[in-house]
Amino acid sequence: MPFYFKKGCSFIALSMLLIGSVSIAVKAKTLTIVDQHGRPVELAVIELLQPVKNDKPLQVAVMDQVNKQFEPKLLTIVKGQQVAFPNSDDIRHHVYSFSPIKPFELKLYAGTPKAPLTFEQSGVVVLGCNIHDSMVGYIYVAQSEAHFLTDVQGKVVLPDNTSSYLLWHPEQDKELGERSEHIWPQDNSHSKVEIELVTPAPRNTFGEMFKDSHGN
Amino acid sequence: MSLVARCQKVAIALSVMITVSGCQSTPTSLYHQVGEQAGLERLTDAFINQIGQDKVVFHYFKQTNVSHFRTGFISHMCAVLDGPCQYQGDNMVQIHTGMNISEYDFNHTVDLLIAAMNEVGISHPVQNKVLAKLAPMRRNIIKI
């Protein structure tokens, strides 16, 4: 009987431990981003203002070209990180950035890879393709690993110690690289923030120019 | 006017003509015959419109930057037709690699260019000379 009792005790102790760890995981803050019509905003970048020390070596991130689109459309990296630009299409691309933190151009012919580029400064880089103007991509270069993306429901779970953060979205009605600063409302585990989005300007493509003849 | 003076005048006039033609185009160049820069711009705009209205080859161009295509096409035609341009864009192989353009689609695009040349009033003899200049590029464009 003492044996069973002991076993029962350790079982309870283990359960308590598990509950404890679960409650730590649950103890976080949820942020929801909506647009001016109340619709959830996916792919908003949230960057915490408390810096996080990073000991891990930085992997080479990838911005691929697939079916005449950037893949992913938005890549988030940490400053100092490298980005490779493969070309999974059979045709050539000519990728460029005019963004002040990293202006560059890369002629990507099928089957001839270029060396990865290093992004030393934090901020926003907008990517285009000289040949295919329908291609638009973004690289968000964060100060540290403490950055997050909203999901399709416009939600993102943030660490419990979040006190202030930067918010950015590619289609925000602001200067493209501008990030708005927000303070987390005290004693709240949820917060909802509305941002104004604009429809992106039409692209300089045959598809756009002759859409009346072909539809979309 | 003395003979010497007259000769000098003729010589100056000749050298001016040569200089001018060196900067622009020889009066007999195809570039000149299609109307030089302005003529090529009209032709290229007509060609863009032909492609834009077309159902067969439009898909190749759908996501293409119109200004990039326009600038490159004008500059390339200017160079090919012996105009005063140096084409600095990608070559025909680089541009068309991976598109796997069929003979049918290639020929159809040539028809669109002919329609554009008709539209801007380029005479048939000049059209033939233009097409003869472009014809050798065919092998650098199709099925690659």
pLDDT of residue B117 exceeding 70: yes
Angle between helices B66-80 and B36-53 (to 10 degrees): 130
User: What are the pLDDT digits (tens) for B47-75?
Assistant: 999 999 999 999 999 999 999 999 999 99
Same-domain pairing of A138 and A155: no
Average pLDDT value for chain A: 89
Domain match, A65 and A97 both:
yes
Does the pLDDT at position A205 exceed 80?
yes
Residue at A8 is within a domain: no
pLDDT of residue A61 exceeding 60: yes
**Where a domain ends, among A145, A164, A184?**
A145
| B-contacting residues in A 105-124 (Cβ below 8 Å) | 107, 109-110
How much is the pLDDT for A55?
80
Cβ atoms of residues A49 and A159 within 8 Å: no
pLDDT category at B11 given cuts 50, 70, 90 is very low
Q: Sign of the C-alpha dihedral, residues B2, B5, B8, B10?
A: negative
Same domain, A169 and A198: yes
Give yes or no: residues A40 and A72 share one domain.
no
Model confidence at A74: pLDDT above 80 = yes
pLDDT band, very low/low/confident/very high, at A56 (cuts 50, 70, 90): confident
Share of chain A above pLDDT 90, in %: 80
Percent of chain B beyond pLDDT 90? 81
Residue A2 has pLDDT above 80, yes or no: no
Q: Is A2 within a domain?
A: no
Residue A23 has pLDDT above 70, yes or no: no
Q: Is A141 exposed, middle or buried (0-12, 13-18, 19+ CB in 10 A)?
A: buried
Distance from CA of A170 to the nearest CA of B (A): 21
User: Does any domain span residue A44?
Assistant: yes
What pTM was computed for the model? 0.83
B139 within 8 A of B43, measured Cβ to Cβ? no
CATH number of the domain at B82, please.
Answer: 1.10.490.10
Interface residue B97 vs chain A (CB under 8 A) = yes
Q: What is the CATH number of the domain that holds A111?
A: 2.60.40.420
At B16-36, the pLDDT tens digits run: 444 444 445 567 899 999 999
Mean pLDDT of B36-53: 98
Is residue B41 in some structural domain? yes
Give domain status of residue A167, yes or no. Answer: yes
Q: Report the pLDDT averaged over residues A43-61.
A: 90
Question: What is residue B13's predicted lDDT score, i.e. its pLDDT?
Answer: 46
Domain-ending residue, one of A145, A175, A198:
A145
Contacts of B45 in chain A (CB under 8 A): none
**A20 is a domain residue:** no
Give domain status of residue A186, yes or no. yes
Kindly state whether residue A82 falls inside one of the protein's structural domains: yes
Q: Is the pLDDT of residue A20 over 60?
A: no
Residue from A167, A209, A99, A58 nearest B53 by CA: A209
Quick: pLDDT tens for A93-149: 999 999 999 999 999 998 888 999 999 999 999 999 999 999 999 999 999 999 999
The reply to whether residue A206 touches residue B51, judged by beta carbons under 8 angstroms, is yes
Are residues A59 and A46 both part of a single domain?
no
CATH number at residue A184: 2.60.40.1120
Residues of B with Cβ-Cβ distance to A203 under 8 angstroms: 65
For residues A132 and A70, membership in a common domain is answered with yes
Q: For chain B, how many structural domains are there in total?
A: 1
Return the minimum-mean-pLDDT range out of A3-17, A82-96, B89-103: A3-17
Question: pLDDT of A149-167, one tens digit each?
Answer: 999 999 999 999 999 999 9
B17 within some domain: no
Q: Which of the pair, B140 or B27, is modelled with greater confidence? A: B140
pLDDT of residue B25: 59
Interface test with A, best of B57, B63, B94 (most A CBs within 10 A): B63
Report chain B's terminal Cα–Cα distance, integer Å: 66
Tell whether A62 and A130 lie within a shared domain: yes
Q: What is the mean pLDDT of residues A193-200?
A: 96
Residue with token string 């309870």: A12
pLDDT at A8 over 80: no
Residue B116: give the domain boundaries.
26-140
Number of domains composing chain A? 2
Structural domain harbouring A211: 29-50+148-216
Q: Whole-angstrom Cα distance, residue B52 to residue B119?
A: 15
